[in-house]
Amino acid sequence: MTIKKENPKRSKFNTIGLSISTSYLLLTLIFKWVSFQKFEEGLQNQQIEYVEMDTKPSPLNAILWSSLIETDKGFRTAYYSLFDKQKVTYSKEFLKNYHLLEPYLEQKVIKQLIDISAGWYRIEEKNGKLLFWDLRFGQMGMDVDTASFLWYYELNIDKKGIVSAVKRQPEIKNMSGIFSSLFNRAKGN
């Protein structure tokens, strides 16, 4: 549908569109403030001290929010829906394990990964390999204690101690189930 420049309806539609999008943005800012307050309350209730907190809306909506906090030893996550009746509960602590990277910190690839993740990462040793988990994009699923984070880098260390990284993503077995649980969780707990 095309409306000529001179047509007064064009200006009216433009004003309506801008009003709707601006209202949505303002509402999202209000929702972010409300969710931040609820996350802070959850931290106080669980007596968790944190270094930094990152809150963001979950995919495709502004109703369900996620929180990732950094503690001295690790990271914790939580979800909050504007329709929740129960208090926010944070996950178990996912340990940082930064000591596993100490021998390799001066290598370019490690510096790049730390920069790319903006400091939101953890290291895991699994089957003799080091996994560099980038935590910025959250988890796949609603169970904050068991859901895998979205992706990681497998660190391969050769005989000379040189590190290379291969980006990996955990296997997604049931994407429709993940989206279904996302929208069910957005309805509140």
Q: Per-residue b/e over 64-78, b at no fewer than 16 CB within 10 Å?
A: bbbbbbbbeebbbbb
Q: What digits encode the pLDDT tens for the residues 7-42?
A: 888 888 889 999 999 999 999 999 999 999 999 999
Query: What is the structure's pLDDT at 124?
Result: 96
Does position 1 have pLDDT exceeding 70, yes or no? no
Average pLDDT of the residues in 167-184: 81
| 189 band by pLDDT with thresholds 50, 70 and 90 | confident
78 bridge partner residues: 67
pLDDT tens digits for 98-157? 999 999 999 999 999 999 999 999 999 998 899 999 999 888 888 888 888 988 999 999
Domain range annotation of the chain: 8-186
3-state secondary structure of 135: strand
Sheet holding 64-70, edge to edge: 52-57, 64-70, 74-81, 94-95
